[in-house]
Structure 1
Amino acid sequence: MLLRHIRYLLAVAEHRNFTRAAEALHVSQPTLSQQIRQLEESLGAPLLDRSGRSISLTDAGQAYVRFARLALQDLEAGSRAMHDVQDLSRGHLRLAMTPTFTAYLIGPLLARFNRLYPGITLSIEELTQDRIEAALGEDLLDIGIGFTGEHGPDIECEALFVEQLSVVVGANHPQSSRLVWLEQPLVLLNTGFATRRHIDDYCRRQGVKPRIAMQANSISAIIEIVRNTPLATVLPQALAEAQRGLRAVIIDPPLPQRTAALLSRKGAYRSAACRAFVELIKAQPTTD
């Protein structure tokens, strides 16, 4: 059995079609079929059910693929470890964060990281926390920035700082000094965002129904809407302080706090670049 056999099987399992899998692997379909047959013969069991319109895994195939994915992740981590540059003169970091952090935390943080380690390249993604955890589990990320709470069994969570949510209005909001926020029309993130779930939980506890005039799936869009309209929103207080033309409004009872956290896959190898980033973000001043 060779490593390519595992890669070929995983591609067929993902695409559920020999033609599409062969195209993704840049091999011919007969070559792919032959390699899968060789793997099945070496294991002594059929791994694929070819009887339907699309290819599916047999019970044996499902069991094997689960461990094959883990083995491939470990092999790729081993390759990165072997080529890791301990002096940080070069390297690569794969990072993702939930959307609110892109508006106030990540810019200054990565500016410092780049000044300290200019030879390190970064891949940065903005994802929901569920997608961050899935990407960590598939070894597509080195580290994520999200929140404490419930996580998958393979995810390790390290608390960073407490983040305070706040009502946010434009700097020239006509009622900014006497805002009764639940009486105001709001623009909120849609329900796929952790921030929105915190807001909805707060409203349920208070027994109120907010007046939602707009919903969006973009932090930058919400910021521009609040800057240019009388609408209010709910976002981290630190974001309002970092963004020009916004103002945080204190309400009673206060909106919930939440704890920002580093997310990683349990047992995953941390490169020198990843360790340097973790050290830098942990040295950040905490957010009150």
Structure 2
Amino acid sequence: MSVKLELYRVFKEVAEAGNISVAAKNLYISQSAVSQSIKQLETALQARLFSRSPRGVSLTGEGQLLYDYVRSALGLLATGEDKLSQAQQLMLGTLVIGASDTVTGQFLTPYLESFHRLHPGIRLKIISGRSAKVLSLLRSGSVDIAFASTPAERERLEAWPCFSTHSVFVAGSGYGCDFDHVYTREEIAAFPLILLERKASSRGFLEQDFLRCGVTLTPEIELSSRSLLVTLAKIGLGVAGVTLEFVQDALSSGEIRLLKTDFTIPARSVEMCTLVDVAPTAAAGAFMEMVQAGAEKEILRPAETGE
């Protein structure tokens, strides 16, 4: 069934405004035109999309279902229109990147600096978030490029490995453990553990690896910040599960030390992701080429400490 795109634009505005008169004002059309558009859309789809009340309108269950798809589709269309209008000579435009604060600080900063120096007219926008969030933003068209840890769901994604990460366990240099001892999984699990919160993909990966060997990790402290893992390990609150590549400064200073283990947790990959069915803008393409060239040169190497 074919429905005019403009009807969906009106539907989205009414859904977000919650009021027909406000939507009409925002769209610069009459209230009757808005009402007629909604009626036409409901007739075409054979569904009641809004509940009316003296205070305005609200989405029905069917309306909410449709709205989620319309918002995403119109977002992608708006993004496409915006990108088409940008100059292809990299003189102006916006490049939106989704990445965690850690990946931005530990990996992307040199690329961002070089890109800005080469193309000062391109506005760089960074949206911070964990892997699941930035991939969701990518699929909705809110970011041009997302940096995520080994995406489990690769539908519509094209990904390029940037660098590998390795999960290890560390403790403050004065912590009451034997740094020369080679610990088993069971012994590691018995420590007061400091881990990232459950929604962190690295936490889930670590737990699943232990569970495959019949060992459950029960942390005493769960955090949203990677830097706090190191901070609390330094002051002796427990053993922290961290990413080796992101704690090199603390290891080099001796504030924390690696625990030796008789097992190795499989490496993960931080990947640069784009949508397969959406052509990158000139700015996105140039930034991707820069990162790919750097990744091939292994700019970020796994540290040898503890290997």
**Of the candidates 246, 253, 258, which is equivalent to residue 263 of structure 2?**
253
Separation in 2, partners of 1:157, 1:168? 31
Deviation at 1:219, TM superposition (A): 1.8
Separation in 2, partners of 1:265, 1:161? 20
Q: Show the counterpart of 1:129.
A: 131
Q: Show the counterpart of 1:221.
A: 228
Question: What's the TM-score once normalised by structure 2's chain length?
Answer: 0.75
**Of the candidates 10, 13, 19, which is equivalent to residue 12 of structure 2?**
10
Separation in 2, partners of 1:220, 1:210? 20
146-155 vs 55-64, which moves further: 55-64
Q: How does 1:169-248 map to 2 (within 5 A)?
A: 169-175=171-177, 177-178=179-180, 180=183, 181-243=188-250, 245-248=255-258
Separation in 2, partners of 1:227, 1:33? 66
RMSD between aligned residues: 3.6
Equivalenced residues, count: 284
SS of corresponding position for 2:153: coil
Question: What's the TM-score once normalised by structure 1's chain length?
Answer: 0.79
Deviations 1:13-36 (A, max 9, x none): 456x327x937x963999466325
Separation in 2, partners of 1:8, 1:224? 51
Deviation at 1:124, TM superposition (A): 1.3
Deviations 1:158-216 (A, max 9, x none): 33332211113335545362363334211111110101101111211232233512001
Mind listing any 5+ residue stretches in structure 1 that lack a counterpart? none
1:104 matched to 2:106? The reply is yes
SS of corresponding position for 1:105: helix
Q: Show the counterpart of 2:26.
A: 27
Deviation at 1:92, TM superposition (A): 1.6
Letter in 1 for 2:82: S
Letter in 1 for 2:267: Q
Letter in 1 for 2:12: L
**Of the candidates 76, 81, 85, which is equivalent to residue 84 of structure 2?**
81
Q: How does 1:43-192 map to 2 (within 5 A)?
A: 45=44, 48-51=48-51, 55-56=58-59, 66=69, 69-70=72-73, 73-86=76-89, 88-98=90-100, 100-102=102-104, 104-151=106-153, 153-175=155-177, 177-178=179-180, 180=183, 181-192=188-199
Mind listing any 5+ residue stretches in structure 2 that lack a counterpart? 303-307
Letter in 1 for 2:108: I
Deviation at 1:146, TM superposition (A): 0.5
Deviations 1:225-279 (A, max 9, x none): 2233342212221111145644444422112211211122222231222112212
Separation in 2, partners of 1:213, 1:49? 47
235-244 vs 200-209, which moves further: 235-244
